[in-house]
A and B are shown apart, each in its own frame.
Chain A
């Protein structure tokens, strides 16, 4: 495998693809949204449960998609759990800039393990795969029940 492919399909991404975390529904979510990538048919449903003081207490997803979109959704759930809405939105902004190649992963940021997605910027056709879950989270937080990457 060449190095660009290695960058994209890192072991941690393959692992989240094989064993997605928080891959389940939440019975009574505070917010939820459905995300579509009409270009490729990827589809996921994202659920958020917030507590009284605006902290994301639980977050989960179900749906189908490629390794990149599934791993991204899985890692999103582990990353934003316990965060405030404002913190989650900041992470989305940074994540988006990361996959667009506009953010230096080694600089100061709040991405933590999400930095493994830096390799996506080499694959413009896959940026939407990586960001679908984040767009869907953003939709859920904004009260939009359907989000499309187109």
Chain B
């Protein structure tokens, strides 16, 4: 078995196909937290994942020994910080199969990435009567920015339907692509349902009509191998904090053609080549879209998270999470009164459910008494809730550090809820 570089925590093994849970869990001290006398069972990684010590240490090392701003100074620390920041960008590019690191824009997160594109389209593409096509299963972050862009530009927001299982109806989606469609914005993996969408097919469909596609990859990149080159998407957005990295850092991948075509997002330092009161010449990509001092430590921390994931292997991570998904689906599905929300054929490790007669918030509180953390509510996807006629769901989501024993704890907890409300 290959040994790992000293940059990466010891739990990661390059040749592994099976996850060594104990070793992985040792990298996440937060998992030792005791809640109400019970060991924490963290099943809320779709909201935010925990961070391995490799990431925490990298952040601390930057802040304690390497701190300086980037692309500003000629001094030693600044040059080192600039190098590390550039290196993080290259790691991201390699991780998602972007051909050129300049196609990687650092943002605050997926929301910020989508807003950047929506604002650019509003300013330079959308005209009254144009259409923006999204789907019924989008997160609010892939609805509201487009709604705002449509409102200001006079364009129309068109929503493609989903099926009862929580899948996209590709024929219906294709039927909604019109001569006025200026962009398709679709999620790769639904945060509320777990559905993995066939985005490659959707992109081909849209491209056949000359329509660009933005993919919301917030729930995909942490859990599966994503190759933007293979997908052929025009934009791909994701966050650091859901993939074992820090909060405050995210990524927008864009094709060179589109990034050069769109206007800058925010104005300020770093996004310029020259400024006079008469005229400002904007910087080249990616800097054109990165006004102001960026989240430097966080970008470098994201690079460390990518190293950590690579060392475990994306295939091993996906396989482990898929095992937990199947186990949880079978165990929860067998409980009388439990309704699984989102039963797509292709799913990531998200199990949304309701229990007859018990509101999800009450489930959340009762589980929390046993130290089990799940998400309850509308998951920032209220249209999905409306589709299923529920005000909210309970959602368990899994990451590489979770175990079958934790699924068992969840199942016991849900049975307890049913007893309390009997």
* In the complex with contacts A40-B392, A41-B377, A65-B391, A5-B366 CB distance below 8 A: yes
Contact yes or no, B382 A66, CB < 8 A: no
Contact yes or no, A67 B369, CB < 8 A: no
Q: How distant is the Cα of A8 from the Cα of B368 in the complex, in angstroms?
A: 13
Smallest CB gap from A43: residue in B: B391
Smallest CB gap from B390: residue in A: A64
Question: Which of chain B's residues have a CB closer than 8 A to the CB of A67?
Answer: 358-359, 361-362, 421
Contact yes or no, A39 B377, CB < 8 A: yes
Q: How distant is the Cα of A79 from the Cα of B36 in the complex, in angstroms?
A: 34
Question: Which of chain A's residues have a CB closer than 8 A to the CB of B421?
Answer: 9, 14, 67
Of residues 18 through 38 on chain B, the ones whose CB sits less than 8 Å from some CB of chain A are 36
Contact yes or no, A68 B361, CB < 8 A: yes
Interface size class on chain A is 20 to 34
Within the complex, the shortest CB–CB distance from B183 to chain A, in Å, comes to: 28
Smallest CB gap from A38: residue in B: B378
Question: Which of chain A's residues have a CB closer than 8 A to the CB of B404?
Answer: none
A42 at interface, CB cutoff 8 A: yes
Of residues 350 through 389 on chain B, the ones whose CB sits less than 8 Å from some CB of chain A are 357-362, 365-366, 369, 376-378, 382, 385
Contact yes or no, A1 B361, CB < 8 A: no
Contact yes or no, B377 A66, CB < 8 A: no
Question: Which of chain A's residues have a CB closer than 8 A to the CB of B378?
Answer: 40-41
Smallest CB gap from B392: residue in A: A41
Q: List 21 A-B contacts (CB under 8 A).
A: A1-B416, A1-B420, A5-B366, A5-B369, A9-B421, A14-B421, A40-B377, A40-B392, A41-B378, A42-B391, A43-B391, A65-B361, A66-B359, A66-B360, A66-B361, A66-B362, A67-B358, A68-B361, A68-B362, A123-B365, A126-B365
Q: Which residues of B are in contact with A by a Cβ distance under 8 Å?
A: 36, 357-362, 365-366, 369, 376-378, 382, 385, 391-392, 416, 419-421
Q: Which residues of A are in contact with B by a Cβ distance under 8 Å?
A: 1-2, 4-5, 8-9, 14, 18, 39-43, 64-68, 70, 123, 125-126, 129
